[in-house]
């Protein structure tokens, strides 16, 4: 099930073996009409409007909140697993990123739509009839995001900027951080898939969990990893951040006015709950994950 109003998203499906395709509206109509009763074994609900600058609150709540509620209700009625995408945006400015109400303060309507659905899960917690897992994604990057436009990861944008212009652009400092020094918990889609599969394979485990690496790294780190991987592909030596700046391979642009007061300058997942649930795999660092991702992008764009 997907929304192909942006038709180029079909490219994400060409190498997948799927039984059928339904538009998201058709799927919801059939779901509420009973067409899938007794058929589905579980639902991984990853879809949402993730545009943090979306100003249409009515659309955001209908698409992200009400839709998710209908899918949750079906899964609970059928007593089947329901794994869904929440978001680290619910924490707002932080500074702590722990899965409890006192640390949550969304800064935009996207974050609020995710926050409100998590609250529903909490209210229904003791009456649940099947597995429920909410995964609060931090800054996810990796394969199959090319359709997301400006909401694609910075690694994706840096890759395209450097190939097109010979340099990458980062925001100047804000909130006391140096240029490009804002810190985020960047998590590879490879690790996101592993965590989803872990819970799917352990239907006895439920909860709302942070899905990040537990490490905060800078946007500068992502830029350096991207540029050096591209340089290595051409047989060129690695450079330091300072060398890149001196050679104008890395440039800073003014921080956008419209993002002031709505921007997370620091995120770092507290992964204690995830570890306690039994997920023990190590997460890729920015250097490891970005390098693998950039090499993938080079391969598919060759």
Is 6 considered catalytic here?
Answer: no
Q: How many CB atoms lie within 10 A of CB 77?
A: 11
| Strand 139-141 relative to strand 43-45, pairing | unpaired
Q: Which of 67, 84, 110, 141 is catalytic?
A: 110
- Whether residue 279 contacts residue 205, with contact meaning beta carbons closer than 8 Å, is answered with no
Q: Which of 9, 148, 169, 262 is catalytic?
A: 148
Q: How many CB atoms lie within 10 A of CB 110?
A: 23
Q: Tokens for 111, please give them.
A: 């974050």
Per-residue exposure over 135-173, b if at least 16 CB sit within 10 Å of its own CB, e if not: bbbbbbbbbebbeeeeeebbbbbbbbbbeeeebbebbee
Instruction: Give whole-number Cα distances, 68 to 96, 127, 179, 186, in Å.
Output: 26, 18, 38, 25
Q: Tokens for 131, please give them.
A: 């597995």
Is 148 considered catalytic here?
Answer: yes
- Rounded Cα–Cα distance for residues 283 and 50 (Å): 23
- Whether residue 42 contacts residue 81, with contact meaning beta carbons closer than 8 Å, is answered with yes
- Rounded Cα–Cα distance for residues 292 and 223 (Å): 14
Q: Write out the catalytic residue numbers.
A: 110, 148
């Amino acid at each position: 099930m997907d929304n192909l109003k942006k038709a180029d998203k079909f490219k994400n499906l060409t190498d997948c073996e799927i039984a059928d395709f339904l538009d998201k509206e058709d799927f919801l109509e059939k779901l509420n009409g009973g067409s899938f009763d007794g058929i589905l074994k579980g639902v991984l609900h990853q879809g949402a409007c993730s545009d943090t600058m979306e100003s249409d609150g009515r659309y955001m709540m209908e698409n992200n909140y009400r839709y998710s509620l209908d899918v949750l209700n079906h899964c609970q009625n059928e007593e089947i697993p329901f794994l869904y995408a929440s978001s680290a945006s619910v924490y707002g400015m932080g500074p702590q990123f722990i899965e409890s109400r006192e640390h949550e303060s969304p800064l935009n309507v996207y974050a609020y739509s995710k926050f409100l659905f998590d609250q529903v899960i909490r209210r229904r917690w003791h009456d649940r009839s099947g597995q429920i897992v909410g995964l609060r994604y931090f800054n996810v990057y990796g394969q199959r995001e090319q359709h997301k436009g400006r909401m694609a990861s910075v690694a994706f944008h840096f890759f395209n900027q450097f190939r097109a212009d010979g340099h990458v652009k980062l925001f100047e400092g804000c909130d006391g951080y140096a240029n490009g020094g804002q810190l985020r918990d960047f998590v590879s889609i490879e690790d996101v898939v592993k965590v989803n599969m872990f819970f799917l394979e352990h239907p006895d485990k439920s909860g709302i969990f942070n899905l990040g690496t537990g490490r905060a790294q800078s946007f500068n780190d992502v830029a350096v990893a991207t540029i050096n991987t591209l340089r290595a592909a051409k047989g060129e030596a690695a450079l330091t951040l300072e060398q890149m700046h001196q050679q104008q391979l890395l440039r800073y642009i003014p921080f956008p006015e419209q993002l002031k007061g709505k921007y997370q300058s620091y995120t770092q997942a507290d992964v204690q709950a995830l570890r306690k649930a039994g997920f023990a795999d190590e997460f890729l660092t920015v250097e490891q994950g970005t390098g693998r991702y950039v090499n993938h992008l080079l391969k598919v764009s060759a």
